[in-house]
Amino acid sequence: EIVVTQSPATLSVSPGETATLSCRASQNIGPSLAWYQHKPGQAPRLLIYGASTRATSVPARFSGSGSGTEFTLTISSLQSEDFAVYYCQQYGIWTTFGQGTRLDI
């Protein structure tokens, strides 16, 4: 099983700043990585797939990069509605989620 590790566990930033979230896969998965945003009481929302392709209606301030085993989600000009838990998911070999990064004000 491919293990996916996210860092940091919690990230505290201020509105208007840039947040950088990391995701590492235990094996080479090429570009087969997705990012999700999850707010309390809501269903998770797909943000990024294929490591860097934004899903429908996702604002341009969300960007993804990386390939192989190291991936990054960058959220620029943070807005109040961006504070949530973010998960990465590898789907290169079966599928597994990371443990999540909580983005706090």
Q: Residue numbers of the site for other proteins (CB under 8 A)?
A: 1, 32, 34, 36, 38, 43-46, 49-50, 55, 85, 87, 89-91, 94-100
- Give the C-alpha separation, 37 to 58, whole Å: 11
Q: Which is nearer to other proteins, 28 or 77 (CB)?
A: 28
| Nearest distance from C-beta of residue 13 to other proteins, angstroms | 21
- Give the C-alpha separation, 53 to 26, whole Å: 22
Structure tokens, 32: 């087969």
| Nearest distance from C-beta of residue 41 to other proteins, angstroms | 9
- Give the C-alpha separation, 90 to 57, whole Å: 22
Q: Which is nearer to other proteins, 44 or 59 (CB)?
A: 44
User: Smallest Cα–Cα separation from 21: which of 68, 80, 82?
Assistant: 82
Q: Which is nearer to other proteins, 68 or 100 (CB)?
A: 100
| Nearest distance from C-beta of residue 32 to other proteins, angstroms | 7
- Give the C-alpha separation, 3 to 47, whole Å: 21
